[in-house]
């Protein structure tokens, strides 16, 4: 039994300690906004924040997440107010199928906290999530929109 | 009735409790806005429910996989309904309900860029009929002729008496009005909702992790299954030692699925997957294990020169023209296997009992999923149901085969009454796919002494999709779809050049690697063969690539119009910025005319795509902003395949297992895409796929212009080229 703190709430999860955090979040706790894409930290669909840092939860063991502050897409809004990245995503109609966008938004939210006014080169270097629909043009536009707001 | 509580506000009802007026069976839509789950309002008609609070629920039969069809179809209904767009929401009727209601919502298949273009009349009439019934209900209440009443923005007005009412107030009465027999649709020039760049209806949920995809289904008492099929398609399970893993924590059952796969059922997917990973399985891989990419290529190469072939387009006498030509030009191209790799891997959740089988899944064809559920369960269709979710990408994978649904049902049959979610690992998804077919193409063209093009023979050798996937659609042993983009005419994918003598024929060779409809399908490679070789011909006679085409396109004004549009916007014929080179391509695909002009620079082996100007004439445009996004996205998909993709075969199996070896374009490689939307009216073309077909040839032609090197085999990484 491991105790995880997710979006400010404590959860006891009965999983093997080496279970990827992703599967504890999705299947054990039942929060399905965080997605499985590859299982090898390539695509970023499973991105969550661990102590504020964007992290690919498919490649973090539950035992390593104990005692840390985990935020998922469900916890990004604050007191019912959407995060500025979520708002920009809506304003720019970024998602297509939307499956990768939980991870994309989490990656961008952490990135913009570190770098509130990024250049295109910064975005190219730091945003490496895969989107098969190819929303990259809208993602870039929306990131700049957040920075300008 | 089963109440599922852990889907947030999407809590939904399954069963008959939500049966609403006018319907004999439980009509419920588990996905969509969710509020519909407790719907008690009668429908106005099959397409429209209006609640007292004026919310308009529009029912959408086609699947939403990112392409925006959900919103586009709702716009078409809302246009004729004359409702307040800000009050519109949606729900997905089940395929079982469609059959029970004599297919009132028509076809569910969402493929071939047809989601909107083949639904226009049906859904528009649905919206118009609902409006007429709502107006009639108001007129009846006021005891005036309906012809004296007008509707706009969900408000009905009787001008003469200055009375107003709203859709929400008359919806209940409208449900009892006799449906109109004659329905007149609006002239496109009067459209207020169609043609506007309205925001997608599904975006807010998608930014908050609320959207339910197949993979997100959770049912009470649900178990999870992981599966491994024989890595060589056609191979069989010889033996496996279930006792080695049955004592592992959480493992419930080890199941052989038909002859070719083994699944582990456990109380969590991770436990199922890790147990399966340690299960010793012995395969009988069969003769297919001897096949490799090299053996397939050699077999296809033979087809380039055999005498007999299936004819797709023939005009004049190409043999005579080539024999008498002053100059011949010849080239051989090839296009590899590609995996769809949608971000959401294959999955389905099934619950089987002796008299009911239900499936929850992402599918591009709810009715095909329902048929598969019936076949696999052994229960008749009326005892089966499929609940469609949003799709985490489709690209043709979820229309080509419902193998994942079949497997889920067969596994669920082993634990009757207990729902089982079958989830493929990414590795399973990559190696058990249905792949973009492999083909080669030998092209021979002839010029006369004055450098006039006199004839071209295109010989395609390789795989037929329909022969494997839809044999019923074959025409006397010929796969007509093989010739997409080469058709002599027609409204779908006509060849855009007039060549005095032409022959397009196909030597069919079907390796065991299963082919599929892959976004763009056959036109992906056919457009490379046509458009890259067109540049080769222009170069051969020293004519500008645009001028060379224009001369052959005089009788194809719509093809030419999009080509001219990209040339003009890109500045073709004017000097490009230093180091930048341009390439053109055009095609007719999925009923639309498209063209692209790519601008690239090449530094050694590093290719940078700076800009792509892309034009689309889809006839009519429902949502320009969404078309813009489809065009940009199609370039990502097409260029990923061109540069990074390509699935190879070794010992009969696909070698690429995940995104580390089957790489994807990311944001840093994304070129700037500028879309020209030029609907010329009078026809309805598709949007999701057409421009993918010009992505590769436009970029290849630009690379050839930059380097002088013509690449004819792909992916380009095989030539050491990298995308930066």
ipTM of the complex: 0.99
Q: Does residue B95 contact residue B388 with C-beta atoms inside 8 Å? A: yes
The torsion defined by the Cα of B361, B366, B372 and B378, in degrees rounded to 10, comes to 90
Average pLDDT over residues A51-79: 98
Residue entry with tokens 């590859």: A38
- Strand (E) or helix (H) holding A90: helix A84-91
Query: Is the pLDDT assigned to residue B8 strictly greater than 90?
Result: no
> Can you count the helices (H) and strands (E) in chain B?
18, 29
> Nearest residue on chain A to B209, judged by CA atoms?
A33
Domains and CATH numbers, chain B: 2-206 (3.30.365.10), 214-286+346-423 (3.30.365.10), 293-338+435-723 (3.30.365.10)
- What is the pLDDT at residue B39? 58
Q: What is the 3-state secondary structure of A91-144?
A: HCCCCCCCCCHHHHHHHHHHHHHHCCCCCHHHHHHHCCCCCCCCCHHHHHHHHH
Query: At B407, is the pLDDT very low, low, confident or very high (cuts 50, 70, 90)?
Result: very high
pLDDT digits (tens, 9 = 90+) for B557-591: 999 999 999 999 999 999 999 999 999 999 999 99
Task: Record the tokens describing residue B436, joined without a space.
Answer: 């973009």
- Please give the Cα distance from B420 to B413 (Å, whole number): 9
The torsion defined by the Cα of B294, B298, B300 and B301, in degrees rounded to 10, comes to 130
Query: Is the pLDDT assigned to residue B5 strictly greater than 90?
Result: no
pLDDT digits (tens, 9 = 90+) for B324-334: 999 999 999 99
Distance from CA of B276 to the nearest CA of A (A): 15
Nearest CB among B66, B202, B659 relative to A38 is that of: B659
Q: Homologous superfamily of A84-148 in CATH? A: [2Fe-2S]-binding domain (1.10.150.120)
- What is the pLDDT at residue B17? 28
In this structure, are strands B439-447 and B327-335 parallel, antiparallel, or unpaired? Answer: antiparallel
Which region among B5-19, B71-85, B708-722 has the lowest average model confidence (pLDDT)?
Answer: B5-19
- DSSP class of residue A59 equals G
pLDDT digits (tens, 9 = 90+) for A89-126: 999 999 999 999 999 999 999 999 999 999 999 999 99
Of the CA atoms within 13 Å of residue B281, those in its CB half-sphere come to 26
pLDDT digits (tens, 9 = 90+) for B245-301: 999 999 999 999 999 999 999 999 999 999 999 999 999 999 999 999 999 999 999
* pTM of the model as a whole: 0.95
Which region among A15-24, B23-32, B49-58, B367-376 has the lowest average model confidence (pLDDT)?
Answer: B23-32
Q: Cα–chain-centroid distance for residue B140? A: 45
Name the B residues in 645-664 with CB < 8 Å from any A CB: 658-660, 664
Chain B residues with CB under 8 Å of A131 CB are 343, 636
- What is the pLDDT at residue A69? 98
Chain A residues with CB under 8 Å of B668 CB are 123-125, 128
Q: Is B391 on the interface with A (CB under 8 A)?
A: yes
- Please give the Cα distance from B148 to B140 (Å, whole number): 11
pLDDT digits (tens, 9 = 90+) for B15-52: 222 323 222 222 334 444 444 444 578 999 999 999 99
- What is the pLDDT at residue B41? 87
Residue entry with tokens 């809506």: A90
Nearest CB among A35, A40, A139 relative to B667 is that of: A139
CATH fold, domain A2-74, is Ubiquitin-like (UB roll) (3.10.20)
- What is the pLDDT at residue B525? 98
- Strand (E) or helix (H) holding B704: helix B692-707
Average pLDDT, chain B: 94
pLDDT digits (tens, 9 = 90+) for B698-718: 999 999 999 999 999 999 999
Chain A residues with CB under 8 Å of B218 CB are 30, 32
Domain limits of chain A?
2-74, 84-148
Query: Is the pLDDT assigned to residue B526 strictly greater than 80?
Result: yes
């Amino acid at each position: 039994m491991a105790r995880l703190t997710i979006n400010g709430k404590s959860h006891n999860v009965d999983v093997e300690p080496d279970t990827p955090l992703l599967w504890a979040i999705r299947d054990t706790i039942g929060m399905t906004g965080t997605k499985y894409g590859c299982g090898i930290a390539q695509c970023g669909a499973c991105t969550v924040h661990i102590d504020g840092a964007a992290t690919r939860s498919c490649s973090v063991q539950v035992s390593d997440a104990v005692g840390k502050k985990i935020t998922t897409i469900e916890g990004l809004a604050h007191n019912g107010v959407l995060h500025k990245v979520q708002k920009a995503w809506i304003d720019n109609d970024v998602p297509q199928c939307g499956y990768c966008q939980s991870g994309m938004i989490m990656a961008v939210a952490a990135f913009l906290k570190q770098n509130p006014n990024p250049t295109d080169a910064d975005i190219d270097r730091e945003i490496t999530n895969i989107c098969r629909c190819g929303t990259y043009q809208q993602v870039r536009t929306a990131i700049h929109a957040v920075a300008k707001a | 009735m089963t109440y599922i509580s852990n889907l947030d506000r999407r809590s939904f009802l399954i069963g008959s409790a939500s049966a609403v007026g006018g319907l004999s069976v439980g009509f419920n839509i588990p996905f969509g806005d969710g509020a519909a789950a407790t719907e008690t309002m009668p429908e106005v008609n099959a397409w429209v429910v209006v609640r007292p609070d004026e919310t308009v629920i529009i029912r959408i039969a086609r699947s939403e996989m990112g392409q925006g069809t959900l919103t586009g179809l709702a716009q078409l209904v809302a246009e004729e309904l004359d409702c307040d767009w800000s009050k519109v929401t949606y729900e997905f009727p089940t395929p079982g309900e469609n059959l029970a209601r004599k297919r009132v919502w028509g076809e569910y298949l969402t493929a071939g860029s047809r989601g909107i273009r083949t639904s226009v009349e049906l859904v528009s009439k649905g919206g118009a009929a609902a409006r007429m019934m709502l107006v009639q209900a108001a007129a009846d209440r006021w005891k005036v002729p309906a012809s004296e009443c007008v509707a706009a923005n969900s408000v009905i007005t009787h001008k003469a008496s200055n009375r107003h009412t709203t859709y929400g107030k008359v919806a209940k009465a409208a449900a009892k009005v006799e449906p109109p027999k004659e329905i007149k649709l609006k002239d496109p020039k009067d459209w207020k909702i169609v043609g506007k760049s309205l925001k997608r209806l599904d975006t807010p949920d998608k930014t908050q992790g609320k959207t339910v995809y197949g993979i997100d289904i959770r049912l009470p008492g649900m178990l999870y299954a992981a599966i491994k099929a024989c890595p060589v398609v056609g191979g069989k399970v010889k033996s496996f030692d279930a006792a080695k893993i049955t004592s592992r924590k959480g493992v419930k059952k080890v199941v052989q699925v038909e002859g070719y796969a083994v699944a582990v059922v456990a109380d969590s997917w991770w436990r199922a997957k890790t147990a399966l990973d340690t299960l010793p399985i012995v395969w009988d891989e069969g003769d297919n294990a001897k096949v490799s990419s090299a053996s397939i290529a050699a077999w296809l190469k033979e087809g380039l020169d055999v005498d007999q072939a299936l004819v797709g387009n023939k005009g004049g006498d190409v043999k005579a023209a080539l024999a008498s030509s002053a100059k011949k030009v010849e080239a051989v191209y090839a296009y590899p296997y590609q995996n769809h790799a949608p971000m959401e891997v294959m999955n389905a959740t099934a619950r089987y009992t002796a008299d009911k089988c239900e499936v929850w899944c992402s599918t591009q064809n709810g009715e095909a999923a329902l048929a598969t559920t019936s076949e696999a369960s052994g229960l008749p269709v009326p005892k089966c149901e499929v609940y469609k979710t949003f799709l985490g990408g489709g690209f043709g994978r979820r229309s080509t085969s419902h193998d994942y649904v079949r497997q889920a049902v067969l596994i669920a049959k082993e634990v009757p009454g207990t729902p089982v979610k079958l989830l493929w690992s990414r590795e399973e998804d990559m190696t058990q796919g249905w792949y973009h077919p492999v083909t080669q193409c030998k092209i021979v063209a002839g010029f006369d002494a004055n450098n006039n093009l006199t004839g071209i023979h295109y010989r395609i050798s390789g795989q037929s999709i329909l022969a494997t996937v839809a044999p019923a659609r074959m025409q006397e042993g010929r796969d007509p779809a093989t010739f997409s983009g080469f058709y002599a005419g027609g409204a779908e994918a006509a060849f855009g050049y007039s060549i005095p003598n032409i022959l397009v024929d196909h030597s069919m060779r079907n390796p065991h690697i299963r082919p599929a409809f892959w976004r763009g399908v056959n036109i992906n490679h056919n457009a490379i063969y046509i458009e890259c070789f067109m540049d080769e011909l222009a170069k051969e006679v020293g004519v500008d690539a645009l001028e060379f085409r224009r001369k052959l396109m005089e009788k194809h004004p719509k093809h030419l119009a999009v080509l001219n549009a990209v040339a003009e916007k890109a500045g073709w014929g004017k000097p490009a910025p230093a180091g930048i080179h341009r390439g053109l391509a055009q095609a007719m695909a999925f009923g639309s005319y498209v063209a692209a002009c790519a601008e690239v620079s090449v530094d050694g082996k590093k290719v940078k795509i700076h800009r792509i100007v892309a034009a689309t004439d889809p006839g009519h445009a429902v949502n320009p902003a969404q078309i813009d996004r489809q065009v940009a996205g199609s370039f990502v998909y097409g260029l990923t395949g061109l540069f990074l993709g390509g699935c190879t075969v070794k010992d009969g199996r696909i070698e690429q297992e995940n995104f580390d070896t089957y790489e994807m374009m990311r944001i840093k490689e994304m070129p700037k895409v500028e879309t020209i939307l030029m609907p010329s009216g009078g026809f309805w073309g598709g949007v999701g796929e057409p421009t993918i077909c010009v992505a590769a040839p436009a970029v290849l032609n630009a690379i050839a212009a930059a380097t002088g090197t013509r690449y004819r085999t792909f992916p380009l990484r095989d030539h050491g080229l990298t995308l930066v």
